[in-house]
Structure 1
Amino acid sequence: MTAPETIGALPGTPEIPPVSAAMRETELKFALTAPAFNAAQQWEKFDPAVRRPRARRLMAVYFDTAAGDLARHKASLRVRTVNRRHVITFKWTGSFAGGWFERGEVEAASPTPELDIALLPPEIAQAIIRLTAGRKLEAVYSSDIKRVVRLLHDGTGTIEMAFDSGVISAGDKTCPVREVEMEFKSGDAGALYRLGLDFVAAFPARLESLSKAERGAALASGKAPEAVRAVAGLQGEPVLDGAIGALINACLGQFIANWPAFESGDAVKAVHQMRVAMRRLRSVLGLFQRAFPSAGFTVFREQARNIANAMGEARNWDVFAELLKTGPAAAFPGEAGFETLLAGVAQYRIAGHDAVRSLLGAAETLRFVLSLQGFAATHGWRNALAGEALPELSVPARDFADTSLARLHRRLLRDGKNITHLSAEQRHELRKDLKKLRYTVDLFGGLFDARKQIAAYGKSLSKLQDRLGVFNDLAVARELALRLDAGDDVAASRAAGIVIGWCARGAVEDDEGLRRMWKKVRRLKPFE
């Protein structure tokens, strides 16, 4: 299996066999209000000569182990009943060409509504046994959906649109469903994303980032969604053309995967991980733009920067709140003014998170996601290349990585000279160099044979980045402390002064420690 197929595999996940194109589904899901849902069924793109089909009732029971092994491995297993016909379906996510919006799907007819995984292809049944460690499968949750299906043909592709309304149930807990699924059936892969863009321009829709199975599993477990860290990088021997799409998918997938955690989980970690996703995306797009100048790379890189910046206020106040509570407020527990400062910080944090919520619900963000995924699915970067340059995309991705990593390494060494004497601005630029290099190591390092050497190099970069990050956080914290209005509150003013002094003292760097870290990075030669 090539690297674009395996990037992002969960550590320790039992292998699921490679799948054919017929065993994959690529779809978009949009949640709508009741009025928008009804209006969308009368969309002008539907052929008025074709009568609206009758609704079908889809009843499904989902199975998992008591420990939730399938859900933990991002897989689902169900038996669906439609008009007395029973179908067993196994679905799983992976790093497919369609990125976040594509998954593996295998079905088998069943004579009864009882689950029998032996009816599935043997390799899939064995994969389920490995995923569950052979533990007993039991009914965990169910869905009762009314579905109306329409087909759209735009001359380049065929898309099936399903209008689903109903409920997901787990015991006495329920979750309503009102969504539109657009599934790619045939033709040009970009047709799905173009239609999605047309749809969100016509109706106030929100991208649904969780499948029905994921919502059902969450309902059954009662667990809040967790923030999602960046996935593993490229593996195997991919060519550069496939690697570009795979890395775009990985970054975009991490961004979308953190939406549920932001809404109903650990919002602080989710904001951080979404910003990381956009920074990683900017880094890889910058690498590719340098080698293959394309308006697409430029536009999406700028949009990723704007999204990351829009989340910066929330992230800065989150970091400041933690620093305040664990630092000066903990060191001076008798200072009454810290309570007032923390209340002020809480208000800024609420405003910052509200801004992130607005960002994720904005039409511009939705267009960014759909346009970028369409760009990846259709290999849009090829359009900017002259015919004679296209073979350059067929070179091994490792060759491109080797050249890029060596160049970024040289730049780091150049900008880090006399590190203890750099100004605050120069340190900030050095930290950006570190991020770009570390992200590149993370994403391309798996293509090299010297894994331990690469890992050690990445770890050293990370430590140096963290050290410079502390200096940056303290500088930002000092600015935020000055923004807190203590008014005539003497105690709060005193506490604010303590915070500013704390930051100033902490910003006095440990020159010897910084110098030792830098020497260690300079001595490492991971690409020789």
Structure 2
Amino acid sequence: MAETKREIERKYEATAGSHVPDLTRVRDVATVVDEGVTELDATYHDTPDLRLAADSITLRRRTGGPDEGWHLKFPVAAGVRDEIRAPLSDTLPPDLAALLRSRVRGGEVVPVVRLRSARDVRRLLDADGDLLAELSVDTVHARRLPGGPRAFWTEIEVEAADDADPRILDAVGKRLRKVGIRPSHAPSKLAKALAETTPEGERPDGRPAAPPGEPGTAGAAVLAYVREQAGAIVALDPAVRRDLPDAVHQLRVACRRLRSALKTYRSVLDRDATDPLGEELKWLAGELGVARDQEVLAARLRAHLADVPRTLRLGPVKARLRIWDTARTKDARRRALAALDSDRYLALLDRLDALLADPPLRKAASRDAAKVLARAVRKDHARLAARVDHALSLAPGHERDLALHEARKAAKRARYAADAARPTLGKPAKKFAARVKKVQSLLGEHQDGVVARTTLRELAVQAHTAGETTFTWGLLHGREEAAADAAERALPEVWARAASL
């Protein structure tokens, strides 16, 4: 993977005659070092319909300056972006192309804007000579490609040093505003260039706004939620590829939320069109689930093993658990990335776009959203009630474990249904989702224990075959059994609080 840098910066409007004030009057700034002017030449790339710009992502190839090369920037928060760098080359590096796959798909990126900048840099140092921030005055010449309109402007950019306190940006900003230099309305140079060179009446990102549907209708409410989850899948794809914390889990949740919505709101969207999509979402969630399930299971076993007194940790249990986890994690990640690199995955994304562009709305889609969504949530609640009642009617054992797992899936679906209805139903849906989540969490704890017991038995067999004692594995197995029993005994009371709408 290419080098990644967290970029924390502020941008300000300026003119060619803007005067940068004395920055040594800023707290903690002892010295300002003038680095001189550097000429930068950057070509920004995007799809022809500007999909990257629509999501505030920038991709450029830049020459000049100490960091020339390819730069791919993902927004993190206001004024914060992750910049992923790759060496200068004539073509887009494969590592960066992979991070754009969910947006570019089978298409290509092409030059859309060229920016030539004269950058006058000042380094802000503290009393020890350590870098706090860099301030640059950029005189920018932009041209829309190929051969389109031009734009010219001057801006001031202040970027915090890697290890510096970001509050330095507030202090510098306060000083700049005192001399009349105001924050920029554009989040990036590319955004400003597109805005300045876009013909009147067109959107700077090149795409029409998504039709919201008739306000207040069930169709509008459901499509808004479907659009949100489909967008989350696209947005989380590069986070999974970068192996960011919790990214696999969040992508899997988006798949499950979307699949649940397509099932729950079949009265709004025709199931002949949505059922095949649901099967593909199930496939993708399953491929991602291997990695997520391994992550959860390994963390659970490590935590439980840490709770065992040292005198009861017999044999090389930590080493065996580490070896088991390393092998399984590597295989699981390989499987998740293979799914994201597959043609099947891209076809799924294209089909989701097609669904949103021309939604297969049924008659109920034109009805009042509150009535239709409330009815669907009640139906999922009744489904959950039937599964919980069935599970509680069974004697403890394998069949009850299976039934409780099915109840857990029903609880998750009911909770997702309520989450989708929250913008329409408000506080009642939020309250219902919170109560059902408690049921889901309890059943999830039970199911995690069931899976953990199976794994502990496998580890015990491996240890026995290697001539090691299996005492600690058996101890952990017994504790998991006790925890599962406690969850089952707690279920009736937790369910009673969620049983009424």
Tell me the TM-score normalised to structure 2 length: 0.58
Secondary structure at 1:331's aligned position in 2?
coil
Give CA deviations for 1:352-403 in whole Å, capped at 9, x if unaligned.
1121112122221122112212221222x14xx6xxx4xx322122221011
| CA gap 1:448/1:288 in 2 versus in 1, 3 angstroms | closer
Partner in structure 2 of residue 348 of structure 1:
328
Give the letter for the 1:58 counterpart. Answer: L
Q: 1:61 to 1:142 in 2, by over 3 A?
A: farther
Tell me the secondary structure at the aligned position of residue 306 of structure 1: helix
1:468 matched residue in structure 2: 443
Do the aligned partners of residues 243 and 340 (structure 1) sit closer, same or farther apart at CA in structure 2, a change above 3 Å counting?
same
Shift of 1:347: 1.3
Q: How does 1:25-424 map to 2 (within 5 A)?
A: 27-29=50-52, 57-59=114-116, 81-83=141-143, 112-114=153-155, 137=183, 183-184=206-207, 238-267=216-245, 269-334=246-311, 335=313, 336-379=316-359, 381-382=360-361, 389=363, 392-417=364-389, 420-422=392-394, 423-424=400-401
Cα 1:81–1:293, aligned 2, differ >3 Å: closer, same or farther? Answer: same
SS of equivalent to 2:114 = strand
Secondary structure (helix, strand or coil) at the match of 2:370 reads helix
Instruction: Give how far 1:288 is off.
Output: 3.1
- The change in CA–CA distance for 1:410 and 1:56 in structure 2 (over 3 A counts) is closer
Partner AA of 1:82 in structure 2: A
Amino acid at match of 1:243: A
Contact 1:237 1:447 in 2 (8 A): no
C-alpha distance in 2 between matches for 1:81 and 1:360: 38
2:417 alignment partner in structure 1: 440
| Higher RCO by CA contacts (8 Å cutoff, separation 6 or greater) | 1
Q: Take 2:142 and 2:151, find their aligned partners in 1: how far apart are those partners?
A: 12
CA distance in 1: counterparts of 2:436 and 2:187, whole angstroms: 45
Matched positions, count: 348
For residues 139-182 of structure 1, the C-alpha deviation after alignment (integer angstroms, 9 at most, x for no partner) is 99877xxx9xxxxxxxxxxxx9xxxxxxxxxxxxxxxxxxxx99
Q: Deviations over 1:96-155 (max 9, x none)?
A: xxxxxxxxxxxx997633379xxxxxxxxxxxxxxx999863899877xxx9xxxxxxxx
Supply the distance in 2 between the matched residues of 1:306 and 1:455 (Cα, whole angstroms): 29
Alpha-carbon contact 1:341-1:492 (below 8 Å) kept = no
* d(CA) in 1 for partners of 2:344, 2:231: 17
Cα–Cα, structure 1 residues 84 and 319, in superposed 2: closer, same or farther, change >3 Å? closer
Q: Find the aligned partners of 1:447 and 1:521 in 2 and give their Cα distance.
A: 21
The question of whether the paired residues in 1 share the 8 Å contact of 2:114 and 2:144 is answered with no
Is the 2:143–2:151 contact (alpha carbons within 8 Å) kept by the matching residues of 1? no
Tell whether the 8 Å contact from 2:408 to 2:444 is kept in structure 1 after alignment. yes
Question: Is contact 2:229–2:257 with CA below 8 Å preserved after alignment?
Answer: yes
Q: Is the 8 A contact 2:287 2:335 kept in 1?
A: yes
Cα distance per residue 1:298-321 (max 9 Å; x no partner)? 111000000111122212211111
Q: Determine the C-alpha separation between the residues in 2 that align with 1:26 and 1:244.
A: 26
1:417 is paired with a residue whose SS is helix
- Given that 1:329 and 1:338 are in contact with CA atoms closer than 8 Å, whether structure 2 keeps it comes out as no
Residues 290 and 332 in structure 2, CA contact (< 8 A), matched pair in contact too: yes
Q: CA RMSD in A?
A: 4.7
Residues 288 and 297, structure 1, Cα contact 8 Å, conserved in 2: no
In the TM superposition, what whole-angstrom CA distance separates every residue of 1:284-342 from its partner, at most 9, and x where no partner exists? Answer: 11123355434320111000000111122212211111111111333244523222222
Question: 2:468 and 2:289 mapped to 1: Cα distance?
Answer: 29
Identify unmatched segments of 5+ residues in structure 2: 1-47, 60-69, 71-88, 95-105, 120-137, 158-172, 195-202, 395-399
Task: Give secondary structure in 1 for the equivalent of 2:141.
Answer: strand
Percent of residue pairs identical: 20
Report the 3-state secondary structure (helix = DSSP H, G, I; strand = E; otherwise coil) of the residue aligned with 1:82. strand
| Structure 1, 298-307 or 487-496: larger mean CA deviation | 487-496
Within 2, Cα distance between the matches of 1:27 and 1:83? 16
Q: Which whole-Å CA distance do the structure 1 matches of 2:335 and 2:323 have between them?
A: 19
- Residues of 1 paired with 2:144 and 2:405: CA distance? 65
CA distance in 2, matches of 1:111, 1:54: 19
Task: Please give the TM-score of this superposition, normalised by the length of structure 1.
Answer: 0.56
- Higher Rg of the two aligned structures: 2
**Paired residue for 1:500?**
477
Task: Indicate conservation of the 8 Å contact 2:113/2:144, yes or no.
Answer: no
Structure 2: distance between partners of 1:411 and 1:507: 23
CA 1:54–1:365 in structure 2 vs 1: closer, same or farther (change >3 Å)?
A: closer
Query: Which letter does structure 2 place at the counterpart of 1:81?
Result: H
